[in-house]
Each structure stands twice: as structure tokens, then as C-alpha cells.
């Protein structure tokens, strides 16, 4: 009598025929709030859902960008576990790849602005659920001095803080390191003075912020009607930057009313050029990036990212 193989149930056959999604997690172990236990919990949740997961811990600068640009990269989802700088590095490198693989965010940084913009949760299990659900959206970008940015670029006081905050303080104290340095710098710096040409209009100001989204320095609302999913940039010019003015801006940042200040003008732009009457620092997506002049334009690329919204 011939041996007969048992018949598989239709739902089991369907599961076996479905190709498991591949997930590559690039984790930056130097990120401010990096926790290896959280990563392993996320990996377990993804594997329990039938995904094939590879975890790679970065060991040097630029490794994220090199991995993202590798022509042999073969994965469905590339998840970056790190802060905004790591995510921005990955996103910039992936702009030329089209819409695959999808980019996912595991927020381990100081502010995690892009994660807030996309509604990404902050607990391992919920992060895993977001990746498993795989809801994607198209992320737009801007260009600042030829470099892609996804959150903001600026020159003036906040860019000076980004340039001088020590890395060891940032890694140890997170956003409190920025507050400490900002308080010191406010009393010792020279005031800024800039000429801004936005589209066809010329303006004078003390500080400049150009943002792609609604949040700044965490989940602090600066432009309520902005969206990183729209192909537009928002210019904020600050008319004063003395100690008292900076204190009032900080209070308004906490209450989400920066754009309502009579010392702040906000408008939608396509291009801008910022010249300083004295050389000034520039930051892009929370990282130091040279100095003025600063030329900004709307990007023409789209990137597929996994959203929690």
C-alpha cells in the first residue's frame, strides 16, 4: 500500500506560498536612547509575524548611507534604528532607489522629529506592529546647499547651538544638553543679521528657519498646516534674536504658537537664498552643515516610508 501524504489545509497552503517580507534593521548603537533589549523585542515580534529579519549594528560614520546605496541591497523594508540624523542619512541615500525598499523608522534619537511627523509609536511592540502593518506614504524633501533635507534647515542662533553642543553631552543628556548650551550661548553671542531672498521677495531678519514639516526639536509645533507629505517648504523669519526675544520664542515653542509671534513671519516658498552680513553657522536636519550662504529649494523626489498615521 502506497504511503499517502496528508492534504494541507487551504489556509496553510496559502501562507506557505506567500513570500515572507524581508526586513533589514540598521541600528546605530551610539544613538541617545538606544536600547539593545528594545531592538531584540522588535526583532522577535517581526519574526513571530513571519518576517525574515536581519539586524546590522553600525560601527562607523557613513555606514548607513553606504548600505542604503549598495546596488546589491535586497530587502523589502529597511528600518533605521537611530535618531533624526541617522534616518536623514538613510533617506538621502535612498532617494535614487525609487520606491523600494520602504523606509521604516525605529526612533532612538534625541528629538525623533520625523517619527513624530509620521505618527510612529515609541514602544517596541507598537513599532513592530507599525512595520508589520506596512502602511506606506510618500515623503517629500527639500535641498539645502545641494544636500537633501527632510525636516528643517536654518541659520542663526539655533544653528550655532547645533554646531557647538559637545557630542558627549548630547549622548549623555539628550535635549537637556541643547538647553544648557543654548542658555550659555544666548548671553555671549553676537546678534545675527541676514538678507533673505524668498522666491521674488527680499527680507531682513535676525534668524531663519525653513521647515518641511510641522514640528521642530521634538513634538513642538511651529507650522500647524505644514506636512512632510506635501511638495512645499515653509520659511520662518525671526526679526529679533536678543536674550529676551529668544526667551519668548522658547516659551512660544513650548505652547506651539511660534508662528503667532509679531516678531515672526511665516510663508510658503519654493526657493530661498540666505546671505549673512557676517559668516553664520548652518544646520540641516539637526546636524551641523557648514555656513552661509544658504540656498534652499523644494525637492523633486519622493520616498516610500512606513507611517503610523
CATH fold of the domain at 12-134: Rossmann fold (3.40.50)
How does pLDDT run across 192-208, given as a tens digit for each residue?
A: 999 999 998 999 999 99
Radius of gyration of the chain (CA): 22
**Residue 12's pLDDT band (cuts 50, 70, 90):** very low
- Of the chain, the end-to-end C-alpha distance in Å amounts to 59
pLDDT over 70 percentage in the chain = 93
What's the predicted TM-score (pTM) here?
0.88
Tell me, what's the pLDDT at 65? 92
Assess whether pLDDT exceeds 70 at residue 15: no
266 contacts: CB under 8 Å, gap ≥ 6: 223, 234, 235, 236, 259
Instruction: Give CA–CA dist 228/103, Å, rounded.
Output: 15
Give the helix/strand (H/E) hosting 301: none
The DSSP annotation for 101-170 comes to: SEEEEEE-SSS-HHHHHTT--SSHHHHHHHHHHT-EEEEP-EEETTEEESSEEEESHHHHHHHHS-HHHH
> Does domain 147-299 match CATH 2.60.200.40?
yes
Tell me, what's the pLDDT at 18? 57
How does pLDDT run across 226-236, given as a tens digit for each residue?
A: 999 899 999 99
Q: Are 157 and 189 in contact (CB under 8 A)?
A: yes
Q: Is 99 helix (H, G, I), strand (E, B) or coil?
A: coil
Domain ranges of the chain: 12-134, 147-299
Nearest Cα to Cα of residue 229 among 96, 110, 135: 135
Assess whether pLDDT exceeds 80 at residue 7: no
**Residue 113's pLDDT band (cuts 50, 70, 90):** very high
Tell me, what's the pLDDT at 171? 78
Amino acid at each position: 500500500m502506497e504511503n499517502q501524504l496528508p492534504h494541507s489545509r487551504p489556509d496553510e497552503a496559502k501562507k506557505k506560498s506567500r513570500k515572507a517580507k524581508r526586513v533589514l534593521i540598521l541600528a546605530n548603537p551610539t544613538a541617545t536612547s538606544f536600547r539593545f533589549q528594545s531592538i531584540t523585542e522588535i526583532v522577535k515580534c517581526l519574526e513571530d509575524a513571519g518576517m525574515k529579519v536581519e539586524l546590522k549594528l553600525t560601527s562607523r560614520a557613513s555606514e548607513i548611507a553606504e548600505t542604503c546605496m549598495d546596488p546589491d541591497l535586497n530587502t523589502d523594508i529597511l528600518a533605521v534604528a537611530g535618531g533624526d540624523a541617522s534616518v536623514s542619512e538613510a533617506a538621502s541615500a535612498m532617494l535614487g532607489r525609487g520606491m523600494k525598499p520602504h523606509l521604516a523608522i525605529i526612533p532612538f534619537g534625541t528629538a525623533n522629529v520625523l517619527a513624530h511627523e509620521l505618527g510612529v509609536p515609541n514602544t517596541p511592540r507598537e513599532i513592530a506592529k507599525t512595520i508589520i502593518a506596512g502602511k506606506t506614504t510618500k515623503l517629500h524633501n527639500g535641498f539645502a546647499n545641494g544636500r537633501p533635507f527632510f525636516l528643517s534647515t536654518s541659520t542663526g542662533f539655533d544653528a550655532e547651538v547645533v554646531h557647538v553642543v559637545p557630542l558627549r553631552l548630547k549622548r549623555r543628556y539628550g535635549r537637556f544638553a541643547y538647553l544648557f548650551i543654548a542658555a550659555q550661548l544666548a548671553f555671549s553671542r553676537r546678534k545675527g543679521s541676514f538678507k533673505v531672498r524668498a522666491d521674488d521677495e527680499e527680507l531682513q531678519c535676525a534668524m531663519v528657519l525653513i521647515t518641511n514639516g510641522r514640528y521642530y526639536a521634538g513634538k513642538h509645533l511651529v507650522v500647524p498646516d505644514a506636512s512632510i507629505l506635501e511638495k512645499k517648504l515653509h520659511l520662518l523669519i525671526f526679526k529679533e534674536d536678543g536674550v529676551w526675544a529668544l526667551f519668548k520664542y522658547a516659551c512660544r515653542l513650548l505652547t506651539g504658537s511660534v508662528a503667532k509671534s509679531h516678531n515672526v513671519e511665516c510663508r510658503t516658498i519654493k526657493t530661498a537664498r540666505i546671505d549673512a552680513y557676517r559668516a553664520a553657522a548652518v544646520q540641516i536636519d539637526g546636524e551641523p552643515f557648514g555656513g552661509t550662504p544658504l540656498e534652499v529649494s523644494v525637492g523633486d523626489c519622493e520616498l516610500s516610508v512606513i507611517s503610523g498615521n
